Amino acid sequence: MQQEIQPVTPAVTEEQASEPPSTMRAAQTPSSCQDEPLCKKLSQWNDWRWQIRNRIRSLDQLARYVPSLSGRSELQKVIAKYPMAITPYYASLIQHADVSDPIFRMSVPNLREMFDPPCLTDDPLEEHEDMPVPGLVHRYRDRALLIATTMCSMYCRHCTRKRIAGTRENAISARRLRQVQEYLFNHPEISDVIVSGGDPLTMSDAAIEAVLSMLRSVPSVQIIRIGTRVPVVLPMRITDELVSMLKRYHPLWINTHFNHPNELTDQSRAACEKLADAGIPLGNQTVLLRGVNDDPQIIEELCRGLIRTRVRPYYMYQCDLVRGVEHFRTSVRKGMEIMEYLRGRVSGIAIPTFVVDAPHGGGKIPVLPNYVVTMSPTHTVLRNYEGLLVSYPEPGVDMESTVEPASGQAGVWELACGKADVIQPAHTTRMDRREKITAKRGAARGTGYLFDA
């Protein structure tokens, strides 16, 4: 049975008297406030530093939100291994205090994190092996990834960098930054640097700017990308000051990490729109997670919501083989099923690329349903989302002289050798609509082709 989560109560955090009640969740500070104590609480709620200071970090704090977890001392060893932090904002998105709730599932520690099959490792992508300088991963020839901090505002239970995220909340030192700068100067083939972590937007504006200005001091670095979950878990961090500083470092791209439509709130949308208005292109990297979003309709709703928010669905990741996430893993087949569902149903700009980030540092491998049915020297036979089979002739094939049209019913072989060019399913929505258009055109013949005068 699902239990209702407790509203945020003053007992939860260190700043007890200032805790906003649940009725204020996601509220904006009114411009002219008549109720001073209420306004103070609202402005604290919308202050990202207050949210960071008041993260849920201990079992006692968690139990005040989720009374059913009181006395679950066995979770202490989970937290000791993989730290917990949940912003009051993100906790306020939990609707049911159990694992049926996607926000709960992604943020609340679970004993199952302690049981790993042997195929899981701490660093399945072998990032550590590809670090020529501590904190800088150089895997692809022209790109590098900079781990600017080990801190996040919320520690996702499915994190691929569980080995470092939150174990110590440290930002990169000036000395390390100089080492990174030197490496980049010596490797002008790197033109694109991804600033990641942890979550780099948990750093102060000045610390972020130190990283960005170092990168801009290297002439061969053309593109800077920031990977952050802040718009999802701490949207009030996207302040006007931060955005106007970021704007000085264009071309700058941001990839964020929405996994479920419940994360698309008014506040997270406002944060994304503020970044988009500053000319920062936004992409989204979703991780396929069992019990959270391993469902075609949920991913469809998420992708539609993202493009309405001006965020382009970029990647949908297969869960990495990282220790502590076995209970989140789905089959690769599930990802392919979702891709099959999306194609033809939603716009291409709303469809992410489904990738397996290869173990052993092999990089991202796209996985698609099979649309190529067969190939011959002269033709490629393809299928579309409806099941239509179509023959695509290769350049230079003289259809007129080589092809005898098929007599009787065509099959795949006839398509492959050019004796037929299409096998159409009997009834599709598209063909039914086309029939109606043809019938209407027949009735209106002679009144104009495209537009009537």
Question: Rg of the chain's alpha carbons, rounded to an integer?
Answer: 26
The yes-or-no answer on residue 81 being catalytic is no
Task: Supply the minimum distance, in Å, between the C-beta of residue 413 and ligand SF4.
Answer: 49
For residue 305 the two structure tokens come to 């919501």
The phi, psi pair for 222, rounded to 5°, reads -95, -45
Q: Say how far apart CA 399 and CA 227 lie, in whole Å.
A: 51
Position 152 contacts ligand SF4 (CB under 6 A): yes
- Cβ closest to ligand SF4, residue 144 vs residue 165: 165
Of these residues, 139, 163, 247, 343, which one is catalytic?
139
- Cβ closest to ligand SF4, residue 238 vs residue 381: 238
The yes-or-no answer on residue 357 being catalytic is yes
Nearest in space to 409 (alpha carbons), one of 401, 420, 425: 420
> In Å, how far from its chain's centre is CA 163?
20
Contact 154, 85 (CB under 8 A): yes
Position 300 contacts ligand SF4 (CB under 6 A): no
| Contact residue for ligand SF4 among 88, 124, 198, 324 (CB under 6 A) | 198
The yes-or-no answer on residue 294 being catalytic is no
- Cβ closest to ligand SF4, residue 46 vs residue 286: 286
Whether residue 198 has a cis bond before it, omega within 30° of 0:
yes
- Cβ closest to ligand SF4, residue 152 vs residue 180: 152
Of these residues, 152, 272, 319, 417, which one is catalytic?
152
CB atoms within 10 A of CB 120: 16
Task: Supply the minimum distance, in Å, between the C-beta of residue 150 and ligand SF4.
Answer: 9
Residues 223-252 that bind ligand SF4 (CB under 6 A): 229
Contact 125, 320 (CB under 8 A): yes
Contact 318, 290 (CB under 8 A): no
Of these residues, 320, 329, 417, 421, which one is catalytic?
320
Which residue in this structure is represented by tokens 């220790």?
323
Of these residues, 105, 159, 317, 419, which one is catalytic?
159
Q: Helix, strand, coil: what percent of the chain each, to 5?
A: 40, 15, 45
Task: Supply the minimum distance, in Å, between the C-beta of residue 93 and ligand SF4.
Answer: 15
- Cβ closest to ligand SF4, residue 78 vs residue 152: 152
Encoded one letter per residue, x for contact with ligand SF4 by CB under 6 A and - for no contact, window 156-175 reads x--x-x---x----------
Nearest in space to 12 (alpha carbons), one of 103, 75, 86, 93: 86
What does the angle CA 425 – CA 430 – CA 433 come to, to the nearest 5 degrees?
120
Task: Supply the minimum distance, in Å, between the C-beta of residue 287 and ligand SF4.
Answer: 8
- Cβ closest to ligand SF4, residue 6 vs residue 318: 318
Specify the stretch interacting with ligand SF4 by CB under 6 A; choose among 150-158, 170-178, 371-379, 436-444. 150-158
Contact 203, 245 (CB under 8 A): no
Task: Supply the minimum distance, in Å, between the C-beta of residue 3 and ligand SF4.
Answer: 25
DSSP conformational letter for 154: S
Task: Supply the minimum distance, in Å, between the C-beta of residue 434 and ligand SF4.
Answer: 46
Position 254 contacts ligand SF4 (CB under 6 A): no
Nearest in space to 122 (alpha carbons), one of 355, 328, 359: 359
Give the long-range contacts of residues 363-367, CB within 8 A, separation 24 or more: 363/139, 363/140, 364/315, 367/318, 367/332, 367/335, 367/336, 367/339
The yes-or-no answer on residue 152 being catalytic is yes
The yes-or-no answer on residue 72 being catalytic is no
The yes-or-no answer on residue 343 being catalytic is no
Task: Supply the minimum distance, in Å, between the C-beta of residue 89 and ligand SF4.
Answer: 14
Position 91 contacts ligand SF4 (CB under 6 A): no
For residue 116 the two structure tokens come to 């790993």
Position 197 contacts ligand SF4 (CB under 6 A): yes
The yes-or-no answer on residue 434 being catalytic is no
| Contact residue for ligand SF4 among 155, 258, 314, 317 (CB under 6 A) | 155
Specify the stretch interacting with ligand SF4 by CB under 6 A; choose among 129-137, 196-204, 205-213, 389-397. 196-204
47's torsion region: left (phi>0), alpha (psi -120 to 50) or beta? beta
Packed helices 296-308 and 332-342: angle between N→C axes, nearest 10 degrees: 60
Q: Say how far apart CA 314 and CA 297 lie, in whole Å.
A: 18
The yes-or-no answer on residue 156 being catalytic is yes
Of these residues, 161, 229, 237, 419, which one is catalytic?
161
| Contact residue for ligand SF4 among 19, 113, 199, 263 (CB under 6 A) | 199
The yes-or-no answer on residue 161 being catalytic is yes
The binding site for ligand SF4 (CB under 6 A) comprises 152, 155-156, 159, 161, 165, 197-199, 229
Q: Which residues are catalytic, by number?
A: 139-140, 143, 152, 156, 159, 161, 320, 357, 364
